[in-house]
Structure 1
Amino acid sequence: MARNAPERTGPVHVPFGHIVANEKWRGSQLVQEMQGKITVVFEDGLTPVDFYVSSRSCIVYVTEADLVAGNGYRKRLVRVRNSSNLQGIVIVEKTRMSEQYFSAIQKFTVLDLGMVLLPVASQMEASGLIIQLVQEQTKEPSKNPFLSKKRTLIPEFSLLRTVQQIPGVGKVKAPLLLQKFPSIQRLSNASVGELEPVVGQAVAQHIRAFFTQPR
């Protein structure tokens, strides 16, 4: 009988230019797309984490099937969020089949947990995003005000991508918002009156509705 590896949510040693993957991803399209571009090392017992991009930054990957199946993914996200050792980034497969469930995980991840959420259309797209995350981790620390100062600093592009998913924002308005409100927490607390000079009345109302409507 196979021995179950103990679960852990603490730091994992990640060599420079490598990514540590949960054993369950061995042979997947996602990992196959990454091979040859970065070095993938597999380990057992990484649950609830799917990938470590550095010793303190990890990825929880929510598949289309996970979304359609229900809210089982929430426990994994909460465990990572509650770990003082880890900075979690959530990658979610947003497809035609799972799109109706995306709003729920978006609000739970961004509003309730204050974590970064990055949607992808496929594992192929996800592989490119993960490679970019690994590359970001190897750069020198930035003093950019866009970075979240809560827990470990979040890569600028990850925070930007999260804000871009708010209805009405997009790639143009997201940087403008983050100059004024440099974290998800501050943005969520902004009033329509505070948002309006930055993005206009209509978008300001969209943003406020996103953060205040029941979830």
Structure 2
Amino acid sequence: METKPKTAALLNARPPYGHVIASDKWRNSSLIQSLNGGGVKILFENELGVADFHLPNKSYILYVSECDIIAGNTYKRKLVRYRNDGGSFQQLVLVENTRLCEQYFSAVQKFVVFDLGLTLLPVSGQTEASQLIAQIVHGDGRENPFRRKTSSRLSDPLVLALVQQVPGVGRVKALALLQHFTSIQQLCNAAPTELEPIVGRAVAQQIHNFFHKPSGAGT
């Protein structure tokens, strides 16, 4: 009878400033060791639900490793559960982009950002992930792009950076797209003929192909 209220409370737990609540499965990881070295205090819990970490600025983090990606589509089901369990918290997805899994990264990126509407942050591994988490924790949310739940807006710096990863799109073209499309959904649904006046025929076709190829491709 007491399990449900306890679990519900943990799923919405917000750690104090300078702390991170981490799923117990991360206890002996290099990520946790790096966080401790960065001055972040860790509270371990084995009932966090799908999320791997809770941050003090009302953010969750789910970590998708190269092993998760290479193993197949199981990570997609986990991401869907994560999205559905978010509540009022900002949901971040840290995805390893390594040499072993880089061929799958664009498909993962499309699924996380465009299919689920979550914020994706690529990392090279657990060390970079710990640095990013420490930065968010010590920033306490002030002037922190992760605090705003605007992951679908092209004006969000994170989304702007993501758009630049589309083949053929650099910062200049991404900013030009920003002037014409107010959301990821509009950009995703744009026909090549709508994109061509902004970025040219070849890049317009690349953008269209990026958004419309099957999200499961390569997995």
Same fold (TM over 0.5): yes
In structure 1, the gaps of 5 or more residues are: none
Note if contact 1:50-1:58 (Cα within 8 Å) is conserved in structure 2: yes
Match of 1:121 in 2: 124
8 Å CA contact retained: 2:34, 2:127: yes
Pairwise CA RMSD:
3.2
Which deviates more, 7-16 or 161-170? 7-16
Letter in 1 for 2:72: G
Unaligned runs of 5+ residues in structure 2 are 1-5
Larger proportion of helix: 2
Q: CA deviation at 1:154?
A: 11
* Corresponding residue to 1:62 among 64, 87, 110: 64
TM-score (norm 1): 0.78
Q: 1:61 deviation in Å?
A: 0.3
User: Which structure: larger Rg?
Assistant: 2
Name the residue aligned to 1:11.
12
- 1:51-76 Cα distance to aligned partner (Å, 9 max, x none): 12246421110111111211111122
Off by >6 Å, runs of 4+ in structure 1:
none
Between 76-85 and 129-138, report the one with greater CA deviation: 129-138
| Matched residue, 1:103 | 106
Q: CA, structure 1 residues 112+34, in 2 after alignment: closer, same or farther (shift >3 Å)?
A: same
Residue 141 of structure 1 deviates from its aligned partner by 7.7
Q: CA deviation at 1:117?
A: 1.7
Aligned to 1:190: 190
CA contact (8 A) 1:147 1:159 kept: no
Amino acid at match of 1:109: V
1: distance between equivalents of 2:123 and 2:9?
A: 26
Indicate the larger mover: 112-121 or 8-17: 8-17
Report the CA distance shift for 1:201/1:128 in structure 2 as closer, same or farther (over 3 A).
farther
Deviation at 1:208, TM superposition (A): 1.4
TM-score by length of 2: 0.77
Q: Residue in 2 aligned with 1:51?
A: 53
Higher RCO by CA contacts (8 Å cutoff, separation 6 or greater): 2
Cα distance change on mapping 1:57 and 1:68 into 2, 3 Å = same
Tell me, yes or no, if the aligned pair for 1:21 and 1:52 is still in contact at 8 Å: yes
